[in-house]
Amino acid sequence: MINGAHISPLDAAAVLIVLSALLGYFNFRFLKLPPSVGLTIMGAIASLIVVGIDMVLPGSQIGAEIADYIASIDFHATLMDGMLSFLLFAGALHVDWHDMKRGAVPIILLSTIGVVFSTLLIGSGFLWLTAAIGFSVPFVWCLVFGALISPTDPVAVMGVLKRAKVSPTLEATVAGESLFNDGVGVVIFTILLATALGNEPFSWARAVHLFFIEAGGGVLLGLAVGWIGYRAMRSIDEYKLEVLISLAIVMGGYTIAHWIHVSGPVAMAVAGLLIGNEGVATAMSETTRDYLLKFWALIDDILNTVLFVLIGLEVVTIPKDTRLIVLGLAAVPLVLAARTISVSGPLVALRPLLNLGPLALPTLIWGGLRGGISIALALGLPDGPGRSILLAATYIVVLFSVIGQGGTIARLLDWLTKRTAKQDVVR
């Protein structure tokens, strides 16, 4: 609400689209940075300008009103209950099922055991960091932070893979892990948050049961709605209706997942894989295939643009406390170290069985970006003294991940490729 005026969802959407278009145009014409990096930087700068307006102009409330408006946007609901279903389906459409099957074992291990192990490592390290800086955060809340920051964001990761030159199998492995580990991470986050709030006593048996219900149910639901959509598309040849059916799969399937309490993200990833592979290959004419893929590419690009602008704008939600900045900066190497350990173990163990090439480890570690999903989970935390601590750390880690890692991964992999080629020549 600004000056007594209620902000409707349409108002918020209009402002975000206009702002995203302006910043996207400016980045394309002048900065020429990767979209995720450029939009996040400009969104953060815009937020800092908003915060600083009232400091520069005594008596001004303009900055405060704009900041209140930005903070009024329910990022958690916007992403988790709206954008995420479209983004995951659109991303999965472009993952080759045959390449992904060759990386199935590391995908399963990294998106399950890897996320659990990373949660424990980050939670333990975050407990020590908070105590060293002067905050008192219970261990279970540190584990909540570990759960929300451990999953890699499929939107950010796939944006990077479009620019990086890696083998199809490695690309499918990284994309597949990012598609499924966010669903697993959300389940782990839900279990730990209920424990932290005292709503449910922690039980390994209950945690494992809930995990299999949520994740397994998501897989089955994704297969069911994807198969129904596939059969419907195969029985007709009308591109407008088939595009509408794909929309129905996403919106209807995600709503059903919410109703029956299974993982919507996992369901949409599975449905997208089914339509993007079997559906595209056998259920569509060339005309339908062209329209459907271009439609979802457009949806993907628009929502990506809005998402990264939102990430940048969310800096206004960070309380003004220098210790929180220090904590966030210290959390960056902690998260990277946990990612390195949780990824290296499975890859080393699987090396005799699966050769993903010398770029596998650096791609999975430095290309494992954190993004909007982590921020959405952090913004969904209940009000309390620990919320600002977890939110600040999450925001700084995501900002570094999108800008620092996302802005350098393509050049890093290009350098490693050339170095490997030179070493092969020498041998």
User: 393 with 126: CB under 8 angstroms?
Assistant: yes
User: 249 with 225: CB under 8 angstroms?
Assistant: yes
Between these two residues, 7 and 66, which has the higher pLDDT value? Answer: 66
Model pLDDT, residue 1: 47
Which of 127-141, 163-177, 228-242, 331-345 is predicted least confidently?
163-177
Residue 418 has pLDDT above 70, yes or no: yes
Residue 142 backbone dihedrals phi, psi, to 5 degrees: -65, -35
pLDDT band at 250 (very low <50, low <70, confident <90, very high): very high
Model pLDDT, residue 266: 87
- Give the model confidence (pLDDT) of 43-69 as tens digits: 888 877 877 776 777 766 766 676 677
**For residue 5, what are the β-bridge partners?**
2
Residue 204 has pLDDT above 80, yes or no: no
The two structure tokens encoding residue 24: 């996207």
Which of 83-92, 105-114, 306-315 is predicted least confidently?
306-315
- Give the model confidence (pLDDT) of 283-298 as tens digits: 999 999 999 999 998 8
Which of 79-88, 100-109, 196-205, 296-305 is predicted least confidently?
196-205
Which of 42-51, 114-123, 279-288 is predicted least confidently?
42-51
Local structure of residue 316 (DSSP, 8 states): G
Q: What percent of the chain has pLDDT over 70?
A: 89
Mean of the per-residue pLDDT values of the chain: 85
Cα–Cα distance, 338 to 335 (Å, whole number): 5
Average pLDDT over residues 173-192: 85
Sequence-separated (6 or more) residues with CB below 8 Å from residue 399: 40, 44, 311, 315
Strand (E) or helix (H) holding 324: helix 322-350
Model pLDDT, residue 150: 95
- Give the model confidence (pLDDT) of 220-248 as tens digits: 999 999 999 999 999 999 999 999 999 99
Strand (E) or helix (H) holding 317: none
Model pLDDT, residue 423: 67
Model pLDDT, residue 270: 92
Model pLDDT, residue 413: 82
The two structure tokens encoding residue 223: 């297969």
Residue 90 has pLDDT above 70, yes or no: yes
Q: What percent of the chain has pLDDT over 90?
A: 34
> For the range 44-48, what are the long-range contacts, defined as Cβ-Cβ under 8 Å and sequence gap of 24 or more?
44/312, 44/313, 44/315, 44/399, 45/312, 46/19, 46/312, 46/313, 47/312, 47/313, 47/314, 47/315, 47/316, 48/315
pLDDT band at 341 (very low <50, low <70, confident <90, very high): very high
Task: Give the CA-trace dihedral at 199, 189, 310, 409, to 10 degrees.
Answer: 170
3-state secondary structure of 58: coil
Residue 121 has pLDDT above 80, yes or no: yes
Model pLDDT, residue 159: 66
Sequence-separated (6 or more) residues with CB below 8 Å from residue 258: 81, 264
Between these two residues, 99 and 159, which has the higher pLDDT value? Answer: 99
Residue with tokens 């059903």: 256
Average pLDDT over residues 173-188: 84
- Give the model confidence (pLDDT) of 353-398 as tens digits: 666 777 888 888 998 889 888 888 888 888 776 888 998 999 899 9
Cα–Cα distance, 187 to 148 (Å, whole number): 10
Residue 37 has pLDDT above 90, yes or no: no
CB atoms within 10 A of CB 12: 16
> For the residues of 209-247, what is the DSSP string, one character each?
HHHIIIIIHHHHHHHHHHHHHHHHHHT---HHHHHHHHH
Between these two residues, 338 and 413, which has the higher pLDDT value? Answer: 338
Cα–Cα distance, 2 to 25 (Å, whole number): 27
User: 124 with 342: CB under 8 angstroms?
Assistant: no
pLDDT band at 215 (very low <50, low <70, confident <90, very high): confident
User: 16 with 309: CB under 8 angstroms?
Assistant: yes
Model pLDDT, residue 282: 92
What is the widest separation between alpha-carbon atoms in the chain? Answer: 72
Angle between helices 286-313 and 372-379 (to 10 degrees): 50
Q: How many residues does the chain have?
A: 427
Residue with tokens 């953060």: 44
Sequence-separated (6 or more) residues with CB below 8 Å from residue 121: 146, 337, 338, 341, 342
Local structure of residue 140 (DSSP, 8 states): H
Which of 89-103, 116-130, 157-171, 312-326 is predicted least confidently?
157-171
pLDDT band at 149 (very low <50, low <70, confident <90, very high): very high
The two structure tokens encoding residue 309: 């602008």
